[in-house]
Amino acid sequence: MLDMDTNATAYAADIEAIRRVVATVEHSQQNKDPDEFLTLFQADAVWTTAHGKVLIGRDAISEFTRKVLPAADWDGKVSYEVVHVLFIRPDVAAVKVRQRYLSPDDESEGAPLYVMAKQDDGRWLLAACQNTGVVTG
């Protein structure tokens, strides 16, 4: 269930748009589709991978994604769930996501944080993201 800050009810349409962005991240990962994934970033976005690689700007994110996403070793069973939205201001949201990779023999989890910005045309795009692996045990 989505846990939201107390002002979130005023942002119902924005929350739905944010959920659609996260759903598109999930779809692009399931299908190993870098083109779909890259449409979600603003031009000057910052992405930090789960292994700490910092990518600044859509061009750097694109170069990395086009190498690693099609070659990823999971079989497409990955899910992304919005678990918390905090509106920092009406056009900026911090979005906590639960990321799960499933295989017949293993399951791993990530806890990405996406800072999203609402564009002038009303679209929400990824602005600054930190993908963090969850260590169990």
- pLDDT tens, position by position, 37-80: 999 999 999 999 988 999 999 999 999 999 998 887 767 689 99
| Angle, CA 135 vertex, CA 71 and CA 72 arms, to 5° | 5
Coil/strand/helix, residue 17: helix
Q: Is residue 135 part of a domain?
A: no
* Inter-residue contact 35 to 24 (CB < 8 Å): no
CATH number for 65 = 3.10.450.50
Q: Give residue 7's pLDDT band: very low, low, confident or very high (50, 70, 90).
A: low
pTM for the complete prediction?
0.88
pLDDT of 5 higher than 60: no
* Alpha-carbon gap, residue 117 to 47, rounded angstroms: 14
Q: What range does the domain containing 108 cover?
A: 3-130
Q: Is residue 100 part of a domain?
A: yes
Count of structural domains within the chain: 1
pLDDT of 110 higher than 70: yes
Q: Is residue 137 part of a domain?
A: no
